[in-house]
């Protein structure tokens, strides 16, 4: 594996910061952008690196040699940097690559180890890092994908409504032959020297190249183009490096009578930011479901314990009895999230649910996270810009977490309480994934909390006046806390 970092540009939009320094040497979080990139690549096991330079290239060479005097880095000069774009810089690196597997990285990119690992472990021959988003403008390199996350279009001119997110400027190619063929044709034969390398990638895609997106989920990646970007990334990195404040795991409380009053109850508790689980169930094509409130670390300790489980038919009956109307439409519940400033987990009970309601969810993507046991649905969620969480009924290994995360881009692991362990939590945290435990029996609750989970479902619970009293388990002769509805295994 060889890495090529493209760092030849003038970066005029960052002036006056770049009047005396090339962009890649600007410090963010106390460390130059390029130094961060080299350290991260080295930690990921990518040691053979070339840097394509141009503007103030002597400063770049001297800085790298000062940082890592024992490390061999290849420098490639783009003497025509002032009148060419990054397509020329990439073409100049062909002699260094020499047919090897290539990791291509833009020189203005700040990224963490998780982002690199996601690309390196992705099960594709050729892939690129995708920031799932819909807050895109003219400057972002937008990506349109098919259902298998294969790129159809890479272009800044792509309509935002067609885009699954932003290609952030990080690619892995098992073979670069086809890409370099199109680069040479465009740059050498046609003289197209002032265009992005994605123009050649697009031509290769149209010619049959399979280039898959790898949604980055919780990985940190940010491009720096403007002084505002520079200031923002600096703040974010300093915040990430600060010691995390000690806190108890957030508590996921459940209410199952799918009335909108349960969200109102969360608001009445004074919780300005409430994360909730919006359970999506379908019966004969009609929406039914239940609401789970997820108040986070500020849930009052006085909140009563217990949660309530109902079938779809019972949900209909309870809602009708308490509110005098049919179960609320999904549109109504989403509008409540906005009105009450809540966030929500979306748990898909049946594969295919997301496809039916995606047009409703995308406008609220920043508030939502899809929880699913179905890989295709997780992929659809990340491609649509909705964060994802993976539901598991067994204990996953480090390699399983890494593989699933690289495949589906999920950032939360919803894990059966009996399979929570310190090693599993540590493995998830190393991959940038939070762990939320569910179905935690009362006698195991304290042990699970002490293991370091990020969240725990079930107790204490948020209730509202319209929720029916708890019932006994149908298979038990004595009253006890009812179990939530059956979850299909992951």
Q: What pLDDT score was predicted for residue 461?
A: 39
Q: How far apart are the first and last CA of the chain?
A: 34
| Residue span of the structural domain in which 326 resides | 250-457
Tell me the CATH number at 118: 3.90.550.10
- Give the residue carrying structure tokens 């783009």: 78
Confidence of residue 449 (pLDDT cuts 50, 70, 90): confident
Residue 356 lies in a domain: yes
127 pLDDT above the threshold of 90:
yes
Choose the final residue of a domain: 241, 266, 285.
241
Has residue 490 been placed in a domain?
A: no
- Please tell me whether residues 287 and 427 are part of one structural domain: yes
Q: Are 363 and 450 members of one domain?
A: yes
pLDDT at 319: 52
State whether 6 and 73 are in the same domain: yes
Among the residue ranges 141-145, 225-229, 339-343, 475-479, the one predicted with the least confidence is 475-479
Per the structure block, which two tokens stand in for 483? 């179990």
The total number of structural domains in the chain stands at 2
CA gap 233, 235 in Å, rounded: 5
Is pLDDT at 392 greater than 50 in this prediction?
yes
Whether 480 maps to a domain, the answer reads no
- Look up residue 259 and give its two tokens: 């009335």
So what's the pLDDT on residue 54? 92
What average pLDDT is seen over the chain? 75
208 and 310 both lie in a single domain: no
Regarding whether 188 and 300 lie in a shared domain, the answer is no
- Domain-embedded: residue 210: yes
pLDDT digits (tens, 9 = 90+) for 406-444: 777 788 888 888 888 888 888 888 877 888 887 787 778
Asked if pLDDT for residue 3 goes beyond 80, the answer is: yes
Looking at the structure, do residues 220 and 186 belong to the same domain, yes or no?
yes
Q: Which residue has the higher pLDDT, 243 or 471?
A: 243
Question: Quick check: is 479 in a domain?
Answer: no
- Identify whether residues 177 and 315 lie together within a single domain: no
Other Cβ atoms within 10 Å of 39 Cβ, number: 14
Note whether 88 and 4 are within 8 A (CB): no
What is the arithmetic mean of pLDDT over 183-211? Answer: 90
Lowest mean pLDDT among 32-36, 172-176, 350-354, 474-478: 474-478
Per-residue pLDDT, 234? 86
Same domain, 233 and 261: no
What number is the average pLDDT over the span 276-291?
A: 47
Q: For the ranges 172-176, 180-184, 279-283, which has the lowest average pLDDT? A: 279-283
pLDDT-based confidence at residue 160 (cuts at 50, 70, 90): confident
| Euclidean distance between CA atoms 446 and 141, whole angstroms | 47
415 and 337 together in one domain:
yes
Tokens 């898959």, residue? 212
* pLDDT exceeds cutoff 70 at 275: no
**What's the CA gap between 467 and 481, in Å, rounded?**
14
**78's tokens:** 């783009």
Q: In this structure, is residue 467 part of a structural domain?
A: no
**Are residues 222 and 326 part of one domain?**
no
What average pLDDT does this structure show over 93-118?
Answer: 90
pLDDT bucket at 77, cuts 50 / 70 / 90? very high
Q: Domain holding 308: CATH number?
A: 3.20.20.190
Q: Which of 210, 241, 272 is the last residue of a domain?
A: 241
Mean pLDDT for 393-417 is 78
Same-domain check for residues 373 and 413: yes
- Which of 52-56, 133-137, 271-275 is predicted most confidently? 52-56
Q: Is residue 484 part of a domain?
A: no
On whether both 13 and 120 belong to a single domain, the answer is: yes
In a domain, 482, yes or no: no
Under the banding of pLDDT at 50, 70 and 90, the label for residue 232 is confident
Give the residue-averaged pLDDT of 312-324: 54
Most confident of 74-78, 220-224, 341-345: 74-78
Q: Specify the pLDDT at position 488.
A: 29
**Mean pLDDT value of segment 319-323:** 55
The domain boundary, picked from 185, 211, 241, lies at 241
HEC secondary structure over the chain: CEEEEEECCCCHHHCCCCCCCCHHHCEECCEEHHHHHHHHHHHCCCCEEEEEECCCHHHHHHHHHHHCCCCCEEEEECCCHHHCCHHHHHHHCHHHHCCCCEEEEECCEEECHHHHHHHHHCCCCEEEEEEECCCCCCCCCEEEECCCCEEEEEECCCCHHHCCEEEEEEEEECCCHHHHHHHHHHHHHCCCCCCCCHHHHHHHHHCCCCCEEEECCCCCEEECCCHHHHHHHHHHHHHHHCCCCCCCCEEECCCCCCCCHHHHHHHHCCCCCEEEEEEEEEECCEEEEEEEEECECCCCCCCCCCCCCCCHHHHHHHHHHHHCCCCCCHHHHHHHHHHHCEEEEEEECCCCHHHHHHHHHHHHHHHEEEEECCHHHHHHHHHCCCEEEEEECCCCCHHHHHHHHHHHCCCEEEEEHHHCCHHHHHHHHHCCCEEEEECCCHHHHHHHHHCCCCEEECCCCCCCCCCCCCCCCCCCCCCCCCCCCCCCCC
For residues 46-68, give the mean pLDDT. 91
């Amino acid at each position: 594996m060889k890495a090529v970092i493209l760092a030849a540009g003038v970066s005029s939009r960052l002036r006056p910061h770049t009047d005396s320094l090339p962009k890649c040497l600007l410090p963010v979080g106390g460390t130059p952008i390029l130094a961060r990139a080299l350290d991260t690549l080295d930690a990921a096991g990518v040691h053979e690196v070339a840097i394509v330079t141009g503007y103030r290239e002597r400063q770049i060479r001297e800085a790298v040699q000062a940082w890592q005097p024992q490390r061999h880095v290849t420098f490639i000069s783009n003497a025509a940097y002032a009148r060419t774009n990054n397509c020329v810089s990439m073409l100049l690196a062909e002699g260094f690559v020499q047919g090897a597997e290539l990791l291509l990285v833009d020189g203005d990119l700040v990224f963490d180890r998780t982002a690199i690992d996601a690309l390196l472990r992705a099960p594709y021959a050729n892939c690129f890092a995708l920031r799932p988003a819909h807050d895109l403008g003219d400057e972002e390199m937008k990506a349109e994908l098919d259902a298998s996350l294969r790129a159809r279009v890479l272009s800044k001119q792509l309509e935002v409504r067609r885009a699954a997110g932003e290609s952030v400027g990080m690619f892995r190619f098992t073979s670069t032959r086809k890409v370099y063929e199109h680069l040479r044709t465009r740059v050498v034969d046609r003289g197209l020297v002032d265009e992005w390398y994605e123009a050649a990638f697009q031509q290769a895609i149209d010619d049959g190249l399979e280039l898959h997106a790898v949604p980055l989920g919780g990985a940190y990646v940010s491009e720096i183009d403007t002084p505002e970007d520079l200031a923002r990334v600096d703040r974010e990195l300093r915040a990430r490096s600060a010691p995390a404040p000690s806190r108890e795991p957030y508590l996921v409380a459940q209410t199952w009578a799918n009335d909108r009053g349960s969200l109102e109850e969360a608001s009445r508790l004074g919780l300005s930011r409430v994360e909730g689980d919006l359970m999506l169930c379908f019966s004969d094509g009609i929406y039914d479901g239940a609401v789970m409130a997820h108040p986070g670390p500020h849930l009052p300790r006085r909140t009563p314990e217990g949660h309530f489980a109902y079938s779809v038919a019972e949900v209909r009956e309870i809602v009708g009895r308490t509110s005098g109307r049919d179960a609320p439409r999904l549109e109504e519940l989403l509008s409540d999230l906005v009105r009450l400033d809540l966030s929500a987990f979306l748990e898909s009970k049946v594969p295919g649910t997301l496809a039916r309601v995606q047009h409703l969810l995308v406008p609220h993507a920043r508030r939502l996270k899809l929880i699913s046991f179905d890989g295709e649905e997780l992929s659809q969620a990340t491609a649509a810009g909705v964060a994802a969480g993976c539901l598991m009924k067994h204990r996953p290994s480090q390699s399983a977490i890494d593989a699933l995360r690289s495949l589906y881009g999920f950032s939360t692991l919803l894990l059966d309480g009996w399979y929570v362990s310190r090693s599993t939590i540590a493995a998830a945290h190393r991959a940038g994934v939070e762990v939320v435990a569910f179905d935690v029996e009362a006698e195991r609750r304290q042990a699970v909390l002490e293991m370091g989970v990020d969240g725990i479902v079930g107790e204490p619970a948020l209730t509202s006046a319209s929720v029916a009293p708890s019932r006994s388990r149908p298979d038990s002769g004595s009253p006890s806390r009812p179990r939530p509805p059956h979850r299909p295994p992951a």
